[in-house]
Structure 1
Amino acid sequence: MARRAEPLAVAAGAGAAALVAAFVAGPLIAVFLRAETPAVLGPADWAAVRFTVVQALVSAALSVALAIPVARALARRDFPGRRLLVTLLGAPFILPVIVAVLGLVAVFGQNGLVSRALGAAGFAPLSIYGAHGVILAHVFFNLPLATRFLLQGWQSVPAERFRLAASLGMSASDIARTIERPMLRAVAPGAAMVIFLVCLTSFAVALVLGGGPRATTVELAIYQAFRFDFDLGKAALLALVQIVLTLAATALAWRLTTPSGFGTGLDRPVARWDAQTPALRAIDIAAISLVTLFLLLPLGAVAAAGLPRLAELPAGIWPATLRSILVALASAALTLGLASAIAAGAASLAPRAPGRAGLIEGAGYLTVAASSLVMGTGLFILLYPLADPRALALPVTALVNALMALPFTLRVLMPAVSETLRDYGRLADSLAMPLLARLRLVYLPRLSRPIGFGAGLAAALSMGDLGVIVLFADPQAPTLPLQVYNLMGAYRMADAAAAALLLVTISLALFWVFDRGGRRNA
């Protein structure tokens, strides 16, 4: 039985990888074949491509530039609540996009807090819609991600470097020149490219805040080609352009992410004697305070607007909530099954066939480059002879959400599976442990933490997704994010805020339940 464990893992991994590749390529081919006329991109389409690249570049640059002082302040300050603040920096990643957009509108919109303050001072109100609104929302989502990337870079510098700098009497500017800037040159470009990649495939932000000739992204142009023109050829060609851009950005991010070369230390606590001056302390306090205000004020605005209406939600909210929870749970189960199979297959092959292992693992990341709208439309085209597309809207949404969350869950699982197999695989072989015994006694106890975290991440991302469901949802059976979007479109902002508060509460609760369950059984 032990000898059969590795072939089974490899076969499962290869099968899951082939399935993911088929789900990425098959729908795109189906859309191309269904197109009635050859597609040609017009000036508006190329303008959308240019805007997508430009807004992604600006969003990534601003996110990293603003994250540098915040990450430096967190790295050299210890204060009550610091660990909680660092944890909260990961919250926007799982925050439903429609909730964050609603919060940003409440703060920066024409009737928002900032506009009212400007009006009281005699200035014109702000408008959040357009290119600047899209960039603002992307910075809101990605500033915490950039801060976490850069904070890891600061924490990778051994404490002995700073102790040596203090013994040599080096000032803060000397330490910045000799230690911090080399670290940033190694870490910041890779972080910027990852954020650039995320912004390339953004849809919900552009759908709500963008639009128009000057603020249309490629993903939004694909949506318009499907929803309004039903030009499948143009949609498929735009998806191909997006795949090329995403793969190029991924390759560049891979090349730019280089080790810092600071070496190892004795894992002592880092003491920053150089940062004790009143001026530097004030700068760090201001950086932490401003980013906390920027991140929490929109969520606070949603909570303040939605809490009074929470008990008076429209009747259609509760069936939509149940549908979203079921979709999220199904998506998490599919994501976890695919990620576990791919991770086990790649880790089993890595020692003797690293090339094949890389192909299996790489297939799990293919959906990063895919358009969820094209994937969903292609699946509907393939399934149309079998059933009504509206009847399949929720299952297809769950499947597409699972595929889109797969790269993140796989990235969490892969290191843990590889480490467990490396540490205990030979011992299990020598004891001739059956496959089920290996799972129960060896793998699950050591993988429960990443499994719980990955499942929570997939469930939360699916719960708040506003992608395929926008195209094909039955008007009588929407999900909760679509209900929030519809309420915003009807200018029922108080009801939208209450539904958004419910959405973010359930999303965070799903993540907490899965993550906590994984930690408890570790």
Structure 2
Amino acid sequence: MTIAAGAFSLGGVLLFVGLAAVALLAQSGNGGAYSLFDAYIWRVTRFTLLQASLSTLLSILFAIPVARALARQASFPGRIWLLRLMALPLGLPALVAALGLIQVWGRQGLLNRSLAAVGLQEPISIYGLFGILLAHVFFNMPLAARLMLAGIERIPAEYWRTSANLGMRSMAVFRFIEWPAIRGLLPGIAGLIFMLCATSFTLVLTLGGGPAASTIEVAIYQALRFDFDPPRAIALSGLQVGMTGALLLVLKFLAPPPQEGETTGKAIRRFDGMSGLPRLADRTGLALALVFVGLPFVAIAYSGAQADLPRLVSEPIFHRALATSAAIALLSAAISVVMTALMVRTQRLVLARRRPGVAARMFAAAIGASTSFILLAPPVVLGAGWFLLLRPFGDVARLAPAVVIAINALMALPFVHRVLAPAMTTHAVRSDRLAASLGIGGLHRLRWIDWPPLRKPVLMALSFAMALSLGDLGAVALFGSQDMVTLPWLLYSRMGSYRTADAAGIALLLGLICLILTVLGTPGAERPDEGGST
């Protein structure tokens, strides 16, 4: 039953993407003439690879010390709120976050005004490659840190007791205990961040500073929006998929085999980083991370507070936008979490057979790849394809909510998979044999064995997916209308009509909603006591 459901989920992903591509190709009629080997395409491909590679490297390099500090300093004041803050970048529309970065790093931003006050008149320019890298690190470093932190927190408590008994210093703990856990996650995290940066559109358009900083995603948008050349858009999408897919394949072979340590389930209590230089370094790093991630949100909050918030909240159109956004976010997140859980479980069941055949291994590999592949399908391509598919059936607006929910659910799959897959794998290694020997299955296993240890990752994945859906504008931009208004659509419509104060107020309200989601998805710190349970 589980395998059939996993196969159905895989088929649904491939069918949804394939039908959109076929619809675009069919619309072109004669197929069109295009070339992927002109100078412009080579230039945007080189820049795409350069900015995505540098963004991935910088995000991971900064995330490792942040994740390690969060793991070691369990009593850091406001630690749980720092974790919640680091989930916020994913939930805001990219343009809103970019505006917050401009208010801090722009020519008239806080940093340049501070430099001018001390006599440094040469301003820092946020536009160009520097601005794109800055924005990508702002979005992806917190994501990488939270995923690494989840991996570190799955290390058995016995490892920390042994390291303390052996008197291992900070670097030895990192080398022999933390690094193996992080190293196993790096290929997946790096692949996810690279895909996010390679397919970045709004940030590149906002902070690129001109044609010299164009990416393949921008070229796809231009092919559809200005030239309406679907064959060229599909070919560019294929180039993007092939380029990123090759990198993911390399990362897959570089990934070490998972090694899950046995544990008795005792509370985790760390003895390193409790005092001295390690504690100072950790707290300094966390303070810097707080400033880097938090300042743009402070700028957004300051601008939003200047708006007439009581009037905005009382408007009927805001009520409709909030209700529509909440319904779409909840449904798409639930679909994404259920699909991911079924696919992860199916993949494990298929590979758990004594001698899985070639077909079984290929099926399992396809399931694993599909959760990342969907991120390479540009939302504008999916939305345009399904718009063309639904147009012959009458009013597209009637079916628009279902299409938006499906696109948002699929776009959240990579994030949900990165959260659930490691947790489900670790839990299966530790509980499958025992549950089978006791004959526990079905709802009894779900309630008493699976849910308690998987509750936190499920809530985190659900909050991630809902925040992503709440901040989405790609699919809504094609289908949004007076009959289907979401908060991002309302925000961008106010910006388009130059009602900047209202737009800032809606951005603040959207950020507060995402903060509430991160609070719900990040349970309060549970103080581990010796012999207790986490």
The superposition leaves residues 80-134 of structure 1 with CA deviations (integer Å, 9 ceiling, x where unpaired) of: 4264156236414642233422321222223322233234345254443333222
Alignment-derived partner of residue 270 in structure 2:
270
User: 1:495 aligned to 2:502?
Assistant: yes
Counterpart residue identity of residue 31, structure 1: L
1:302 and 1:500 in contact (8 A); partners too:
yes
Q: How does 1:295-444 map to 2 (within 5 A)?
A: 295-309=293-307, 310-313=309-312, 315=315, 316-343=317-344, 345-352=346-353, 353=356, 355=361, 356-413=363-420, 416=424, 419=428, 424=435, 438-439=442-443, 441-443=444-446
1:235-314 equivalence runs, <5 A: 235-258=233-256, 269-272=269-272, 276-277=275-276, 282-309=280-307, 310-313=309-312
CA deviations on 1:369-409 (whole Å, 9 max, x unpaired) are 32222122222222221134455443322211111112333
Equivalent in the alignment of 1:26 = 19
Tell me the equivalent position of 2:44.
48
Equivalence for 1:96? 92
Aligned residues of 1:106 and 1:112 also touching (Cα < 8 A): yes
Cα distance in structure 2, aligned partners of 1:501 and 1:166: 48
Counterparts of 2:152 and 2:140, CA distance in 1 = 18
Find the aligned partners of 2:433 and 2:322 in 1 and give their Cα distance. 43
Report the AA paired with residue 212 of structure 2. Answer: R
Alignment TM-score, normalising by the size of structure 2: 0.79
Tell whether the 8 Å contact from 1:160 to 1:265 is kept in structure 2 after alignment. Answer: no
**Structure 2 residue corresponding to 1:10, chosen from 3, 20, 27:** 3
Alignment partner, residue 529 of structure 2 = none
What's the CA shift for 1:239?
0.8
Change (3 A) 1:408 1:133: same
CA distance in 2, matches of 1:451, 1:178: 29
Q: Is contact 2:52-2:194 (8 Å) kept?
A: yes
Contact 2:397–2:479 (CA under 8 A) maintained in structure 1: yes
Which amino acid in 2 is paired with 1:254? K
Relative distance call for 1:265 and 1:118 in structure 2 (3 A) is: same
> What percentage of residue pairs aligned between the two structures are identical?
37
Shift of 1:33: 3.2
Q: Which residue of 1 aligns with 2:107?
A: 110
In structure 2, relative to structure 1, the CA distance for the partners of 1:423 and 1:16 (3 Å cut) is: farther
Q: Distance in 1 between matches of 2:99 and 2:306?
A: 16
Q: Which runs of 5+ in 2 are unaligned?
A: 527-534
* Residue 147 of structure 1, aligned match among 120, 145, 148: 145
Q: Secondary structure at the match of 2:323?
A: helix
2:192 and 2:414 in contact (8 A); partners too: no
Alpha-carbon deviation of 1:227? Answer: 1.6
- Structure 1 runs not aligned, ≥5 long: 1-7
Q: 1:125 to 1:496 in 2, by over 3 A?
A: farther
In the TM superposition, what whole-angstrom CA distance separates every residue of 1:496-520 from its partner, at most 9, and x where no partner exists? 221111112223434555777xx9x
Name the CA shift for 1:452/1:487 in 2 (closer, same or farther; >3 Å). Answer: same
Q: What's the counterpart of residue 532 of structure 2? A: none
Native 8 Å contact 2:88 2:511 kept in 1: no
SS of 1:443's equivalent in the other structure is helix
Supply the AA of the counterpart residue of 1:332: A
The answer to whether the 8 A contact 1:94-1:461 is kept is yes
**Superposed displacement of residue 60, structure 1:** 1.5
Q: Secondary structure at the match of 1:135?
A: helix
Query: Is the Cα–Cα contact under 8 Å of residues 97 and 205 in structure 1 kept in the other structure?
Result: no
Q: Counterpart of 2:133?
A: 135
Cα 1:261–1:11 shift into 2, 3 Å? closer
Residue of structure 2 aligned with 1:61, choices 38, 57, 61? 57
Q: Shift in Å at residue 464 of structure 1?
A: 0.8
In 2 relative to 1, CA 509–291 (structure 1 residues): closer, same or farther, beyond 3 Å?
Answer: closer
Residue of structure 1 in register with 2:225 after alignment: 227
The offset of 1:340, in angstroms, is 4.7
Query: 2 CA distance for matches of 1:392 and 1:405?
Result: 21
Q: Which moved more, 1:380-389 or 1:351-360?
A: 351-360
Normalising to structure 1: TM-score of the pair? 0.81
- Once the two structures are TM-superposed, the CA of residue 11 in structure 1 deviates from its matched residue by 2.4
Kept after mapping to 1: 8 A contact 2:13/2:370: yes
